[in-house]
Amino acid sequence: MTGTSLSRAIGEYLSSIEAGNYRTNANSALRQWQQWLERKRSVSQLDDVKVIDCRRYARHLKRRVREGELKSSTAHTYYAYVRAFLGFCEADELITTNPAAVSRAQAELPENTADANRQFWSERDRKAILAFMDKRVERALDGEGISRERAYRDRALVRLLALSGVRGAEVFRAPADDKRPGITWEDVDIEGGAVRVFGKSREYEHAQLPKKAADALERYHRVFDPPTPRFPVFPTDHAPSKYRAVREQLDGDYSERRIETLLDENDIDDVIREHEIVIPAISTRGARNLMKRLCEGAGLDIDGEYLKPHGARRGLGHQLYSEGHAELAQSALRHASIATTHESYSNIRASETADRVDDVLDES
């Protein structure tokens, strides 16, 4: 097929992407690339994109990194969006080859200096935040600080992150992705030690649920007593979202006037419980903000930051891998292959190799 405009091809590609966050980010990156092409070489047709254009775009990104406008990792991400888009076009037979995948084009990319050792929860920090959550529950039971429900919810949330290897977007609501509304109580199998999540693969998977995480969820469930199994495990505290859910779900059964009277005369949480209203789950951003507040309360300062949700997954894998349990780490993190696990923790393998080399050299 010839004569396809860049705008049309990009639109078709974006419509094929299911993940909302990826689609949003890809749209931004591809539209910037499209504007750059039109400005530099007046390219508006897909067929007119050549290897030299991709090579020069990579060089453009490298220049922006050198001038401090971009991080090297961001430049590689922008180029990856272009490469993925053109790969889609090749698969759809809109072009014969992917010009962005040619080595001489990619050779102009800046060196990727991103730190492979991104934040992860160390064993010490993990124990510290878990101990803090236990004390927080004890204070709530003594009538100090927050409510029992909140204390049990937050402890269950932290234990799930710390011990199960789940990703934040798998258990919390991702606003840009309709298929990620957050886990509900229907997804949790406490006795079976598993939680059903919508994985990175865009398929449903079962994440492992260790006993300490399962116990925290079971106690939280007992205290909270959700009105329906369809209720989110970690519901939002955002009042407008609660009121909107009530109005939307009672619409059709009650008149607008009756609904407003119901809301005026009753506590919103009582209305939700009595009418089994399913409110939204806490968002990924909300979970990050919660972790920030919890770390402040616990007095944890992680290089000026806080324990981020995804760092819990990395920390779990790091400990399992470093203690010689590579296959267990693969299973816990649900990596498709052991090669992915080895690559993720290549720094540990390098350290172990260095130790073995030292041993050999010391013996010689």
C-alpha to C-alpha distances, 71 to 62, 109, 112, 119, 302, nearest whole angstrom: 9, 12, 9, 17, 22
Q: What angle do CA 93, 96, 97 make, to 5 degrees?
A: 120
Class at the top of the CATH hierarchy for domain 125-309: mainly alpha
Q: What tokens were used for 47?
A: 């067929």
- In three-state form (DSSP H/G/I as H, E/B as E, the rest C), the secondary structure along the chain is CCCCEHHHHHHHHHHHCCCHHHHHHHHHHHHHHHHHHHHHHCCCEHHHCCHHHHHHHHHHHHHHHHCCCCCHHHHHHHHHHHHHHHHHHHHCCCCCCCHHHCHHHHCCCCCCCCCCCCCCCCHHHHHHHHHHHHHHHHHHHCCCCCCHHHHHHHHHHHHHHHHHCCCHHHHCECCCCCCCCCCEHHHEECCCCEEEEECCCCCEEEEECCHHHHHHHHHHHHHHCCCCCCCECCECCCHHHHHHHHHHHHECCECHHHHHHHHHHCCHHHHHHHCCCCCCECEHHHHHHHHHHHHHHHCCCECCECCCHHHHHHHHHHHHHHCCCHHHHHHHHCCCCHHHHHHHCHHHHHHHHHHHHHHHHHHC
Cα-to-chain-centroid distance, residue 64: 27
Rounded CA separation 272/264 (Å): 13
User: What are the residue boundaries of the structural domains of the chain, listed by start?
Assistant: 6-106, 125-309, 311-363
Return the residue matching tokens 């919660």: 290
Q: What pLDDT is recorded for position 177?
A: 85
Q: What pLDDT is recorded for position 1?
A: 41
For the chain, residues with pLDDT lower than 70 are: 1-2, 19-20, 113-118, 349, 351-364
Q: What pLDDT is recorded for position 334?
A: 93
Q: What pLDDT is recorded for position 119?
A: 74
Beta strand pairing call for 204-208 and 188-189: unpaired
CB neighbours of 216 closer than 8 A, spacing ≥ 6? 152, 155, 156, 159, 160
**Domain 6-106, architecture per CATH:** Orthogonal Bundle (1.10)
